[in-house]
Amino acid sequence: MSSDVFFLAEFDGGQAARSALELAAGAAGLAYGSGAREGASALGPAGAGRAVVLGDEAAPAITFAASAAAAVKEATPSVVLAPATPNGRDLAAALVGLLELPAFGPVRAVRIEGSAVRTEQATLQGTVITVSQPSDGAPRPAVVLVLANTFTPVEGGTGKAEVVDAPATDPGAFGQAKVAESHPAEAAVTNLEEATIIVAGGRGVGSEAGFGPLQDLAAALGGAVGASRAAADAGWVPYQLQIGQTGKVVKPALYLSAGISGAIQHRVGMQSAEHVVAINKDPDAPIGEFADLFVVGDLFAIVPKLTDEIKRRKGK
Amino acid sequence: MTHRLTPEHDELRAVVRELADERIAPRAAEIDTSAEFPWDLKELLAKQDLLGTSFEERYGGTALDAVGQAIVIEELARADATTSLIPIVQKLGALPIVLAGSDEQKDRYLPRLASGEWLIAFGLTEAAAGSDVASNRMRARREVDCYVLNGSKRFITHGSVAKVVTIFALTDPAAGGRKGMSAFIVETDTPGFAAPRLEHKMGIRGSPTAELTLDDVRVPIDSLLGSEGDGFKLAMDSLDRSRVSIAAQAVGIAQGAIDAAVSYAADRRQFGERVVDFQGIQFMLADMASQTEAARQLTYAAAAQVDGRASDLPYWTSSAKLVAGDTAMRVTTDAVQVLGGYGYITDYPVERMMRDAKITQLYEGTQQIQRLIIARQLLQRSGAAESG
Amino acid sequence: MKIVVCVKQVPATTAEKRYTADFRLDRTAAESVINPLDEYAIEQALRLQESGAVDTVAYLSMGPEQAGEALRRGLAMGGDEAYLVTDDALAGADEWATARVLAAALDKLAPEVALMGMASDDARGSLVPGAVAAMRGLPLLSYGSELSLHDGTARIRRLTATGFDLIEAPLPVVASVTDQVGEPRYASLKGIMAARRKPLETWGLSDLGLSADALHGAAVTRVVEARAPEAKPPTERIENVSADEAAVKVADWLAARKLI
């Protein structure tokens, strides 16, 4: 068994997903998705020594599961890192099922020492931190789901990745799921899971128009806009911007909320954020208890002024 | 007859509480401010089979035991008193039909009442006949093929939203209220029937309390319930069986107030401490809780007596309503006190709960009437009752 | 046409939770409910039954005896029958073992669709649907915002970052749905009463042809430590100042942390 670390690298139109670049440092990539073969070399500068191309059609990620399993079986790495995105989870799940593997995550930290793996995750809505590892004698590799922004992509690296093809494999039953129709939206929606700064609005924002000031603030900060379930259900923002128990789990460096009360179902989506600033006119809002900075006031008065102040400072 | 609670009762409570917490409590303040009948919540209750709990299964009801019915009311009232009134009045209005209706009458009306498709009201009270039911003045004149009703009623809950009202009117004015009153089922779209005015009230403001005017309203002969002259006793029997619901409502209101007070006091800090840690506050909360529990247990015991067909049922149900109503008023007032200034403003629910609680001391027989009923039962037991 | 909905009983989101001394979830400590994300799968299955696309809706759960309560709640929402796999050997089961057991039970029940919610509330793993599909050799249709059935095919509508895709596969399949399916219904009173009369069967590992050894003792992972999260410094508060002043203070705070 090698002490190689593998990671899943998703491609779309030849571009590597940000999650792939985050996981790349010091590992071998299992590349899949449209344009994976031509784009795989980009994993080199991100830190990968090797890229194994599972397939480069546009197809549901799960189609590549059998190929991934074969590549993993052949190389016997100690760990496979998977992004905690729906596609990453599906592939990780398939590996677990096909190869009887121990699975961890989504983790907030993972330590790999030789072939030993230890992971840390926040469970029970963030009330307990557990440290886990494979049981003695457990099959290898360990599959580890990693949240976005846990690792930082290497910038300006010059490494090269050796690009090889995975052995030809019959996709099996997984290959039977096919995209019957694809309906892209008019405007692309930011993938919140990759954002390092998020400005999120909740019930207190009151309307679709109310998100205007939040969008301005996000733009000034160089971040993305997110929302609580209340705002998404009310139709003020698209569903893809919903953060929480039934939405996205995000891990930005800065999470700034306005008009969000902080119910636990929302908290589980953003509890790993590094810095939390909350603006709410209710001094007793639950979010005031776990924010790092809690501003009591009217978000419609404060947010535009904050935007101006930030632009002023950045303009300097 | 005991009222031991079963796992089914616990499950029932959990289910209704979830519904109440998620869908009803968030609407309570708005219902009170707008004073509008919550049609959406009525539909929700109907869909969840919560309007049919007192009706037999063959009419589409769920025939819960009386304790189960009380638990449903209690959990609804904890969230919102106005909403809890919907199943209460649905039961009261239908009781004359249940107790004295013919099979045809039951088949025609009970299924639609159990399903909540139609709402029903109880048309007994008049402007000059509240506690003194016997001085009702509405008349029902017998003609060849119908009865003609004339008069007005006041303080009729749901009178303006009901499709059918059980109306009490004098078929024999000379015989007086006790012997000459009859009960009728009147459909509210009958010509001459109107609900021209609603009262503006202190509490349960989302519940429409209507004046009803009947101006030569012609109803078929077979809308008479039972026989002529049965009306007074039918009204009293119906109220006897409905009274436990009011007690349950009062218990629920009190519990809602306690929960709000504890939650507030646990968060609020003054003088460097949580308000809930001050002994004075703890004494108040303890009194509120233990008295509410006593009212609750008495209510369940009375409910068990309803199912057990106790011969001294009024003793039980009047005691429950008396104790529970007074407890609700006291507990909600104390809840406002615990919240201090914040208890007085509409941002917090306890002032609404206090205004809502008051009605439980007034309707379906004032506390004074309840005392008379209890006293009469005591005298009967001891053989000291006057004859007649 | 039969759907089996896999349901997990978890501690209520708002309840106090803790781990036992040997780092297993103390499932007796807190009030247990159906995993909220599974309620959406139940709702989807019931809608398909109401539309006539499906004849039978059954529920399957793996857990301690009390997990039967979750199954009764499911039956109160609707559906026809329920199955509980319970065995002392399964205490502390991890995702792989859970998938193994569910896969065996699903093979026994052989539904056209095995349906799950997208993750479980307590451990947020979400790997069970994919692992079950892999073990059973069936197509996986995951993260559906809607599931439909016609002509021997299952189709899901899956929201993407840029719109949505319609993905389909021939039956039988394993599928998972998200909260976009729509609000789960409340159990009605009649539903609760009817649920008490619906069949609930209990199976042990031997009924599935599995043994504790085959499951690697129910877990190939091991929790070695469980602790409270790091104490955070108390929240700094800005209040009772003008909006202008608040904006400056927030900007200062962000600048001090190099966020702007």
Query: Are C186 and B18 an interchain contact pair (Cβ–Cβ within 8 Å)?
Result: yes
What is the CATH class of B233-380?
mainly alpha
Report ipTM for this prediction: 0.86
Q: What is the pLDDT of residues A94-138, one digit of tens each?
A: 999 999 888 887 888 888 877 788 998 877 667 788 898 888 888
Domain boundary assignment for chain A: 5-176, 192-315
CATH topology for B120-229? Butyryl-CoA Dehydrogenase, subunit A; domain 2 (2.40.110)
Name subunits touching A (3+ CB pairs < 8 A).
C
Give yes or no for residue C14 having a pLDDT over 60: no
Q: If DSSP states are collapsed to H, E and C, what string results for A204-236? A: HHCCCCCHHHHHHHHHHHCCEEEECHHHHHCCC
Residue B31: which pLDDT band, with cuts at 50, 70 and 90? Answer: very high
Contact in structure between A140 and A1 (CB atoms under 8 Å)? yes
CATH number at residue C23: 3.40.50.620
Query: What is the Cα–Cα distance from B322 to B332, expressed in whole angstroms?
Result: 16
Residue type, B93: G
Count CB neighbours of A201 within 10 A.
Answer: 32
**Chain A contact set for C126 (CB, 8 A):** 89, 93
List, edge to edge, every strand of the sheet that includes C140-144.
C140-144, C173-177, C113-117, C2-6, C56-62, C81-85, C200-203
Region B250-254 average pLDDT: 98
Query: What is the Cα–Cα distance from A54 to A34, expressed in whole angstroms?
Result: 11
Region B102-107 average pLDDT: 97
Query: What is the Cα–Cα distance from A295 to A276, expressed in whole angstroms?
Result: 11
**Chain C contact set for A90 (CB, 8 A):** 130, 140, 142
Give yes or no for residue C121 having a pLDDT over 80: no
Handedness of CA B186, B188, B192, B194 (dihedral sign): positive
Query: What is the Cα–Cα distance from A81 to A151, expressed in whole angstroms?
Result: 11
Q: Where in chain B is the domain with CATH 2.40.110.10?
A: 120-229
Q: In chain A, which among 269-308 make CB contacts under 8 A with chain C?
A: 275, 277, 283, 288-298, 301-302, 305-306, 308
**Between A and C, how many residue pairs show a Cβ–Cβ distance under 8 A?**
273
DSSP summary character for residue B88: H
Q: Quick one: CA torsion of A111, A113, A114, A119, rounded to 10 degrees?
A: -30
Choose between B270 and B75: higher pLDDT.
B75
Give yes or no for residue C28 having a pLDDT over 60: no
Q: How confident is the model at residue A129, as a pLDDT? A: 86
Query: Are C189 and B12 an interchain contact pair (Cβ–Cβ within 8 Å)?
Result: yes
Contact in structure between A28 and A4 (CB atoms under 8 Å)? yes
Q: How confident is the model at residue B4, as a pLDDT? A: 86
Structure tokens at B270: 């003054």
Asked whether residue C228 is assigned to any structural domain, the reply reads no
Q: Which CATH number fits domain A5-176: 3.40.1350.10, 3.10.310.10, 3.40.600.10, 3.40.50.620?
A: 3.40.50.620
Establish whether domains A5-176 and A192-315 are of one fold.
yes
Query: Are A101 and C220 an interchain contact pair (Cβ–Cβ within 8 Å)?
Result: yes
**Measured between alpha carbons, how far is residue A46 from residues A21, A40, A155, A258, C206 in Å?**
6, 11, 7, 36, 49
Structure tokens at A65: 């599961």
Q: If DSSP states are collapsed to H, E and C, what string results for A164-219? A: EECCCCCCHHHHHCEEEEEEECCCCCCCHHHCCEEEEECHHHCCCCCHHHHHHHHH
Asked whether residue C226 is assigned to any structural domain, the reply reads no
Give yes or no for residue B110 having a pLDDT over 60: yes
Global confidence as pTM = 0.83
Q: What is the pLDDT of residues C173-188, one digit of tens each?
A: 999 999 889 899 999 9
Range of the domain at C198: 2-218
Longest dimension (CA), chain C: 70
Which of B252, B331, B353 lies closest to B286, judged by CA?
B331
What is the CATH class of A192-315?
alpha beta
Mark out the alpha helices in chain B (DSSP H runs).
7-19, 25-34, 39-47, 66-79, 81-100, 103-114, 176-180, 231-267, 279-307, 313-339, 341-344, 350-357, 367-382
Backbone angles phi, psi at A86, to 5 degrees: -55, -45
Q: How confident is the model at residue A24, as a pLDDT? A: 86
Q: Is A204 exposed, middle or buried (0-12, 13-18, 19+ CB in 10 A)?
A: buried
Region B310-339 average pLDDT: 96
Total domains present in chain C: 1
- The shortest CB-CB distance from B48 to any of C186, C193, C196 is to C186
Q: How confident is the model at residue A184, as a pLDDT? A: 82
Q: How confident is the model at residue B352, as a pLDDT? A: 98
**Chain C contact set for B52 (CB, 8 A):** 189
Contact in structure between C35 and C28 (CB atoms under 8 Å)? no
SS percent in chain C: helix, strand, coil, step 5: 30, 30, 40
Which of A159, A169, A9 lies closest to A80, judged by CA?
A9
Give yes or no for residue B358 having a pLDDT over 70: yes
Query: Are C221 and A104 an interchain contact pair (Cβ–Cβ within 8 Å)?
Result: yes
Give yes or no for residue C16 having a pLDDT over 80: no
Q: By the CB < 8 Å criterion, does A158 face chain C?
A: no
Q: How confident is the model at residue C26, as a pLDDT? A: 57
Asked whether residue C45 is assigned to any structural domain, the reply reads yes
Task: Spell out the residues 6+ positions from residue B49 whose beta carbon is closer than 8 angstroms to its own.
Answer: B62, C188, C189, C190, C191
Asked whether residue C118 is assigned to any structural domain, the reply reads yes
Residue B200: which pLDDT band, with cuts at 50, 70 and 90? Answer: very high
Query: What is the Cα–Cα distance from B309 to B4, expressed in whole angstroms?
Result: 17
Asked whether residue C95 is assigned to any structural domain, the reply reads yes
Query: Are A132 and C239 an interchain contact pair (Cβ–Cβ within 8 Å)?
Result: no
Asked whether residue C245 is assigned to any structural domain, the reply reads no
From the candidates B6, B9, B12, B15, which should be mutated to test the interface with C, based on the most C CB atoms within 10 A? B15
Q: Where in chain B is the domain with CATH 1.20.140.10?
A: 233-380
Q: What is the pLDDT of residues B262-314, one digit of tens each?
A: 999 998 888 988 999 999 999 999 999 999 999 999 999 999 999 988 889 99
Q: How confident is the model at residue C163, as a pLDDT? A: 80
Structure tokens at A115: 């072939």
Q: What is the pLDDT of residues C243-260, one digit of tens each?
A: 999 999 999 999 999 988
Segments in chain A below pLDDT 50: none
- The shortest CB-CB distance from C133 to any of A97, A123, A221 is to A97
Domain B7-114: CATH superfamily is Acyl-CoA dehydrogenase/oxidase, N-terminal domain (1.10.540.10)
DSSP C170-229: ESSEEEEE-GGG-PPPPPPHHHHHHHTTS-EEEE-GGGGT--TTTTGGG-SEEEEEEEPP
Query: What is the Cα–Cα distance from A177 to C128, expressed in whole angstroms?
Result: 18
Q: What is the pLDDT of residues C209-227, one digit of tens each?
A: 998 877 766 677 888 888 8
Q: Quick one: CA torsion of B232, B237, B241, B246, rounded to 10 degrees?
A: 30
Q: How confident is the model at residue C18, as a pLDDT? A: 57
Q: Where in chain B is the domain with CATH 1.10.540.10?
A: 7-114
Structure tokens at B379: 């005298």
Which of B332, B331, B305 lies closest to B318, judged by CA?
B305
Q: B364 catalytic, yes or no? A: yes
Per cent of chain B over pLDDT 70 is 99
Task: Spell out the residues 6+ positions from residue B169 whose beta carbon is closer than 8 angstroms to its own.
Answer: B136, B138, B139, B140, B149, B151, B181, B182, B184, B231
Question: Lowest mean pLDDT: which of B147-161, B373-387, C68-82, C95-109?
Answer: B373-387
Residue type, B376: R
Region B325-331 average pLDDT: 98
* CA nearest to C98 within chain A: A97
